[in-house]
């Protein structure tokens, strides 16, 4: 059985799920799905699927891209914030990383930004620094940023947490902030171990559809109507 875990970028059920990870116990693998992946099924990015149609919609969108999922867990941002509030963890930093970041973790970058850096060889993260590590993507040397680089940092943090026995049940403690398609979903997600393979759905290309910067598979099966709207995407900043 396979479970998708999606974490919302805000503390309400109409928000986007900007972190989407598929748990595959039979293969001992976690697969990260880029939030900007386009879906013909819903006519939007994959990160809008849960808000538009709940578990069924999210599972259907992943199936559209050949990712079979049996269960889903959706977690609001407030649940993860509570679980990480007292956490202190060290992560390796292979090179200097510099990003633009909102003035506070819950603010929009359009309302103001600050320059942040992570310095080699390692950083000890807690509080806002944890959220910066997880979420920063806009690089000052480019017009935008890379979701793949952000995902790689999320993977580093998750492996460190798993290695140190972090109790992820704390994230699921408040039923008001967590929605499950099945009780089996928690058991599936709970099987993850630090020695599992961490993968990313990376065989995609950047483009735009209806003015939205999105990603599509290199071997896309988009409908003719959708393909007619595809055009090269400028590397503009995206939230």
User: CATH no. for residue 211?
Assistant: 3.30.420.590
- Does 41 reside within a domain? yes
Tell me what pLDDT residue 236 has.
39
pLDDT > 60? residue 44: yes
pLDDT > 70? residue 148: yes
- Does 25 reside within a domain? yes
pLDDT band of residue 220 (cuts 50, 70, 90) is low
pLDDT > 60? residue 232: no
- Does 234 reside within a domain? no
Mean pLDDT of the chain: 88
Domain match, 74 and 97 both: no
Q: Which domain holds residue 103?
A: 86-163
pLDDT digits (tens, 9 = 90+) for 167-207: 887 787 788 999 999 988 988 888 999 999 999 999 999 99
Q: Report the distance separating Cα 10 and Cα 130, nearest Å.
A: 16
pLDDT band of residue 123 (cuts 50, 70, 90) is very high
Q: Report the distance separating Cα 57 and Cα 78, nearest Å.
A: 23
- Does 135 reside within a domain? yes
Tell me what pLDDT residue 106 has.
80
Domain match, 77 and 177 both: yes
pLDDT > 90? residue 32: yes
Give the chain's domain count: 2
Tell me what pLDDT residue 76 has.
95
As a dihedral over the C-alpha atoms of residue 131, residue 89, residue 149, residue 41, rounded to 10 degrees, the angle is -60
pLDDT band of residue 143 (cuts 50, 70, 90) is low
Q: Report the distance separating Cα 88 and Cα 84, nearest Å.
A: 8
- Does 235 reside within a domain? no
Strands (E), the chain: 3-8, 17-24, 29-33, 38-39, 44-45, 71-75, 89-92, 97-102, 113-118, 122-125, 178-180, 197-200, 204-209, 212-217
Domain match, 62 and 94 both: no
CB 40 within 8 A of CB 208: no
Domain match, 130 and 31 both: no
pLDDT band of residue 145 (cuts 50, 70, 90) is low
Q: Ramachandran region of residue 66, left (φ > 0), alpha (ψ -120 to 50) or beta? A: left
Domain match, 104 and 170 both: no
- Does 27 reside within a domain? yes
Domain match, 221 and 206 both: yes
Dihedral of alpha carbons 35, 75, 161, 118, sign: positive
Tell me what pLDDT residue 108 has.
82
Domain match, 17 and 48 both: yes
* HSE-CB of 111 using CA atoms within 13 angstroms: 7
- Does 237 reside within a domain? no
């Amino acid at each position: 059985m396979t479970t998708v875990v999606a974490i919302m970028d805000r503390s309400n059920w109409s928000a986007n799920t900007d972190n989407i990870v598929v748990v595959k116990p039979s293969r001992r693998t976690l697969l990260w799905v880029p939030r900007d992946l386009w879906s013909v099924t819903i006519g939007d990015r994959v990160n809008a699927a849960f808000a538009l149609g709940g578990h069924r919609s999210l599972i259907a969108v992943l199936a559209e891209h050949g990712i079979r999922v049996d269960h889903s867990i959706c977690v609001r941002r407030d649940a993860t914030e509570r679980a990480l509030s007292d956490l202190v963890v060290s992560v390796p930093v292979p090179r200097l990383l510099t990003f633009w970041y909102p003035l506070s973790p819950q603010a929009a970058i359009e309302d103001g930004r600050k320059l942040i850096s992570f310095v080699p060889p390692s950083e000890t993260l807690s509080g806002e620094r944890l959220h910066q590590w997880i979420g920063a993507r806009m690089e000052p040397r480019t017009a935008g940023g890379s979701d793949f680089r952000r995902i790689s940092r999320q993977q580093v943090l998750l492996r460190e947490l798993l290695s140190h026995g972090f109790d992820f049940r704390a994230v699921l403690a408040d039923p008001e902030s967590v929605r499950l398609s099945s009780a089996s979903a928690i058991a599936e997600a709970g099987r993850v171990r630090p020695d599992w393979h961490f993968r990313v759905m990376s065989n995609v290309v950047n483009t735009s559809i209806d003015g939205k910067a999105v990603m599509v598979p290199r071997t896309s099966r988009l409908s003719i109507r959708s393909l007619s709207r595809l055009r090269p995407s400028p590397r503009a900043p995206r939230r």
